[in-house]
Amino acid sequence: MNMTAQAHAKINLHLAVGPLRSDGYHHLQSLFARLELADVITVDIEEGPFSVVVEGLGGVCEPGTDTMSRAARLWHEASGWDGRLTVSIEKNIPVQSGLGGGSSDAASLLSLLNTIKPLPEDRLHQIATRVGSDVPFFLFGGNAAIVEGRGERVTPIASRPLGVLLVMPRDFAVSTAEAYAHLDRLRAHETPRFIDPARLVDIYNKSCPMWVDSLYNDFYPTVAELPLYQRLNALGDGLEGYATISGSGACWYIVSEDDSCIREAEKSVQDHVGDRVVCWQSRLL
């Protein structure tokens, strides 16, 4: 048997990080939005005892430690299903970009596996959270959601199909755990600010250039000193959109309801820093 699924990327339109918890994670309040940009996963299933092999990750991590292998093993333990899984992935989402590729890959694989032998939703949710904090959004968040707790509390909201330019540095990527540690050092004495969730939705429904008055990404200060991001922000300042980094970086984006703004942003980025970045035009779903 052979099954295929797309695993879409996300951007965080808002990301407020609370204090470090005793379990090593941080409380979050975020607005996640799903992108058209996607990895493609194909799963081949043969009879036999349980095993999982993932092909196509090209040395991103040690074999067997990737998010899809971990998700498949947890699903097997919970469902008792046996079989030999070979997962092939066409990787289009850059790694360590803050676009959620690894989490989305795992979520898409779990959805496919769950069609073979469905688990109760709360069990699937538990597995998703064990694989990674962003995985519940990809399984249960629809195209846009408010995400809270460690990432496990997901409230879908009506999405807006906006244009996006994604800009990924060629020689700079970000480890999530290191970015959180960097953030803790930067703001040891600050009190985090969370917005009332209903207000967050109201702001999201306003025009993108107005978001800058209320939305923010707490990780932005962790890259703000780097000349490339200063340059990108200066380019974004003159445009009718909202620009910041996604997740803990390294991807910078600008989102707008005006497609000509996205085209203009791409031209400007290519003209000024084109040798140091890779750009994609995409859309929020």
| Residues that bind ligand C5P in the complex, under the rule CB under 6 A | 24-26, 28, 132-134, 150-151, 176-177, 180
Pick between residue 28 and residue 273 the one whose CB is nearest to ligand C5P.
28
Which CB atom, from 152 or from 264, has the smaller least distance to ligand C5P? 152
| Cα three-residue angle 154-103-51, rounded to 5 degrees | 125
| Shortest distance in whole angstroms from residue 180 CB to ligand C5P | 4
Closest approach of Cβ 276 to ligand C5P, in Å? Answer: 26
Q: Which candidate in 10, 39, 66, 218 is catalytic?
A: 10
Q: Looking at 66, 105, 134, 218, which residue is catalytic?
A: 134
10 is catalytic: yes
The nearer residue to ligand C5P, 132 or 236, going by C-beta atoms, is: 132
Q: Report in angstroms how near the CB of residue 75 gets to ligand C5P at its nearest.
A: 17
Least separation in angstroms between CB 54 and ligand C5P: 17
Extract the tokens encoding 279.
């750009």
Of 133 and 143, nearer to ligand C5P (C-beta) is 133
Residue number, 121 or 178, with CB nearest to ligand C5P: 178
To the nearest whole angstrom, how small is the minimum distance from the Cβ of residue 85 to ligand C5P? 22
Catalytic residue positions, numbered: 10, 134
